[in-house]
Structure 1
């Protein structure tokens, strides 16, 4: 009889690209897997795991009071042998499962010790103190998975086995995504996926697009992701009223929906400012663009530069330089053959190094080592 594994998050989207498309299918070949998360529906997925729905609330306090009791009740009825949690707010509940005999894996997907400085919500001092307390306790009692090697600088002296399983791209998943029959006829299209915020260079992008609009007024940019600009409105950014019609904001969409639009684009943009844990953490979007055969424009962090220079698949620029971004966008428009070559280089690099197949083996090996 196969062990029962519960993957649980009260925050991630129903079709989160890492959990839904990578971890759950990889484990389902060896375990009885359940994925409990907010969002649509409960039922068996074609990849062999079962989805269980939870209610979702934006504010942490409401999740603690309303989502967590539902999650606890469903988990207790399920009686999993192993619980794999993906957000630190679940640590108190994870200790309950631990006391009841389940093995617990705590997956660290961000360095919150650095990330608190830029969080716009759920950043109450009480939450910070509770996180630090339970996070320290988890290092003693739980097995840990990290999505970045750099997190080990913070997480030292771990009592139990741990592993780094990076969030590289699943090539079969990417290759199954068709081109979108987009009604947008603009010849010069660019793609952005991820949170839309000033920390992720939205201000730099707007200034660069203002320049680009003067030479290529038919350019178009597809934005996929939640808009988190605080109190600032889109039309307050310089030039937005001039070229706002060239930008389409889709909000968060499933990866299969979003990346269909990318196939018609010239390049993918993945710029981040050197704040919080960004300089030490890969942006997953960079590898998705490479897998799609798109040149990448990303930040000039040493970690990113190693990928770009080794792969020769794009540009690393200052996240503060709108002029440099504009120059790269224009160069990509005006050099289609070089653009195509960069895209092919990126794809080859992902096939050789930055793909989920290798990380899947790390994940399965880690699970097998659990006592």
Structure 2
């Protein structure tokens, strides 16, 4: 049986798609992976297909891939591909699973690339696309707090690290780290200012995509604050985790926005699984996930001075020792549900075909 995993928006190395969903499916299907260029940094368990051009052209290319006759099931990861998946379902009767990564309607309301007067309409359209998916496809969620977007309950596959996807804990190399998309809303400027506010300054490494104008702003702020800043760009997931593993502390300074408020930042779990102490914004989802865990400091969103003090406390308390002790517990207890994902796709392929 062949499964198509398709995204026209996310990068090919997106961890939830490439390292988790695709690897799970590769245990039961021949997997075709359709994304925009560049392709994934690792292969061997799938056939990669490029979706060329801009957003509209990629949409049509994705539809063509979904209509191929050799598919047992399609895994869709973008709300904008839901109408294409519906067409493929009608034309080819192909079973579809729509995986919801985030609260897209809430996210759209704060996206700079969406013209402000159009944001309410774009958010409404995103919400309607998700409701449409519920009518003709199997829906899976990255977090339980996305259930309010739907009329019915749907399976939740938490964004925990997959077994074997992380490097071992590493010695403290003396720098601070952040892994993920680098944006103002995710606290990029706050991290630079927090590093600059520390009495004992440490280098700061940011791993992920960053707009050119923001990168220039961060470099200027870092120079003004006396911070040694490295913008490493997007790295393959395992390589990014190797960078995180050597850090004295990991940042997750999300701003208090609807899309982040109740979410669990995946990077927080990854830091803890690597034995790295965490400084995170005090938001409901983060607070719930981190309750009772060692080597964790939560700070008010948008407060770099509080973040600097939190890092200093972690360093003074030798929090890395406590983080290292709980790393194996985190790896065992918070793990991607590989077998459950594979079982759902197999069941969808069989039931929806019949």
Do the structures match in fold with TM over 0.5?
yes
1:260 maps to 2:242: yes
Q: What pairs with 1:1-371 in structure 2 (closer than 5 Å)?
A: 3-40=1-38, 45-46=43-44, 48-55=45-52, 62-64=54-56, 66-77=57-68, 79-99=70-90, 100-122=92-114, 124=118, 127-128=122-123, 130-157=125-152, 162-175=154-167, 188-212=174-198, 215-217=199-201, 219-228=202-211, 233-234=216-217, 240-244=223-227, 246-336=228-318, 338-345=319-326, 347-356=327-336, 359-370=337-348, 371=351
Assess if the C-alpha contact under 8 Å between 1:35 and 1:51 holds in 2: yes
> Any unmatched runs of 5+ in structure 2?
none
For these two proteins, the number of residue pairs brought into alignment is: 345
The CA distance in 2 between the partners of 1:138 and 1:317, in whole Å, is: 37
The CA distance in 1 between the partners of 2:285 and 2:123, in whole Å, is: 28
Report the 3-state secondary structure (helix = DSSP H, G, I; strand = E; otherwise coil) of the residue aligned with 2:320.
helix
> Any unmatched runs of 5+ in structure 1?
57-61, 181-185
Shift of 1:203: 3.2
Shift of 1:71: 2.7
Assess if the C-alpha contact under 8 Å between 2:145 and 2:263 holds in 1: yes
The CA distance in 1 between the partners of 2:307 and 2:42, in whole Å, is: 45
- The root-mean-square deviation of aligned C-alpha atoms, in Å, is 2.8
Shift of 1:13: 1.6
Q: Per-residue CA shift, 1:65-102, capped at 9, x if unaligned?
A: x2223333344345312111000111121012101210
The CA distance in 2 between the partners of 1:263 and 1:147, in whole Å, is: 24
The CA distance in 1 between the partners of 2:155 and 2:187, in whole Å, is: 31
